[in-house]
Amino acid sequence: MNESNTLVSLLHQVMLVEARYRSHTSTTGEQFNIFQILGVESAEVRTHSAFLAELLNPKGSHGQQELFLTLFIQQLGLVGVEAKDATVEVEKHIGLLNEDSLAGGRIDICLFPENGHPIFIENKIFAADQKNQLLRYHTYNPEAKLLYLTLDGSEPGQHTTGGSIKQETVQSVSYATDIILWLELCRKEAVTQPLVRETITQYIHLLKNITGQSTNKMMTEEVKKLILQDPGAVASAQLIRNAFDQIRSEVRQAIYSELDTAFRGVFASNDQVAFTYKGYIVNFAWDRDANNDFFYGFPAYKQDGIGGICKHGDFDELAVVLRAQNKNFKRTNWWAGFVTPPGFTKVERCTAQELCELATPAGRQALVTRTVSEATHYLEQLKAKYGLQQEPAS
């Protein structure tokens, strides 16, 4: 069989495997997941912290009182913690973050038992560790037990512990095992509460998906075995992968080029003065980050042109205003807020249908039009609120 025939045969066999698994997920309803439909599967605070805290809360809307919290304590082997009358708080503010990152910030989930030491949960889905984050929690309450919750149960590094927290103070917890096992126990106990039970089931499916335990994982394993049965298939698979990577790269570059052209056609210039804010000059600009993701937003400078000042407390108000318009606005030392268009970030993980749409001029134009419209809206709202200054003050 020549290379072309091997390639066609491999594609045909893979399509058959995919069709079989698609039929299975359609039958079970596994593809219907409210968290993914709403696009909040990776939102640490709004989805994961909020959902876990609600289940852990004895006064939560699940109506199971302290049962779920008791199962959590048992699953993690937490000693000396009583579930009864415990209180739960999400995003607890522990003071303003100081300049050396040794105090202040927010704790993702706090458990306060009526008797015993509190439990602070640092919830990490995809976000990177913050400097001295666990150390700050420990400084706030040295008696608290710290749970470091990640997808795979990895150990916290010195960047977040500051290298000065005792090992027994921090316990690593895994979504892939610890949390899923606990949720399965909760689901079993909620057998008479169909809405609670099915919501937990959907959340379990979400976690299995983001930790590589979903039906897609099993399908991938079967395809791997299929490829390894034939050396010719291995070569064909590599050819397909190379072609697919090139397609994604070309689509990403086309989107960036068309967005850049559209922005230059609508806005006066890149890094133009947009408005003044508390004596600072705030510009509107766009660029690409280290991952080649397109983004736009608002860098800020002092009157003398010095930047790198957006983490100053003066910019807290502006950060809140931006996030009120779009929760995905992020803040750095140089940017009061920046955001990446949703469609652009999906290029690396979009579905086959989405990729095919973005590969067409019409599909990209829809993304470009939407992005320009959103950017224009944000810019005009901020100009109206803070006032446009055409020339920086001297």
Whether 337 shows a pLDDT value over 80: the answer reads: yes
Output the pTM of the full model.
Answer: 0.56
Whether 392 shows a pLDDT value over 60: the answer reads: no
Three-class DSSP category at 184: helix
Residue 41 CA: distances (Å) to CA of 222, 246, 342, 394:
26, 28, 14, 47
Residue 161 or residue 344, greater confidence: 161
- Give the pLDDT band of residue 319 (cuts 50, 70, 90): confident
- The predicted model gives 96-117 an average pLDDT of 85
Residues pairing with 300 in the sheet:
282
pLDDT digits (tens, 9 = 90+) for 129-146: 778 889 999 999 999 999
Highest mean pLDDT out of 35-39, 94-98, 161-165, 378-382: 378-382
pLDDT digits (tens, 9 = 90+) for 286-317: 888 766 678 899 999 988 888 888 988 888 88
Boundaries of every domain in the chain: 3-30+214-228, 36-210, 245-386
pLDDT at 145: 92
pLDDT at 161: 84
- The predicted model gives 374-392 an average pLDDT of 75
pLDDT at 229: 84
Name the DSSP class of 311.
Answer: T
pLDDT at 189: 94
Q: What does R_g of the chain's alpha carbons equal in angstroms?
A: 25
In contact, 123 and 49? CB cutoff 8 Å: yes
Whether 394 shows a pLDDT value over 50: the answer reads: no
- The predicted model gives 193-197 an average pLDDT of 92
- Give the pLDDT band of residue 270 (cuts 50, 70, 90): confident
Of the candidates 295, 278, 305, 368, the residue with the CA atom closest to the CA atom of residue 329:
295
In contact, 282 and 381? CB cutoff 8 Å: no
Whether 274 shows a pLDDT value over 70: the answer reads: yes
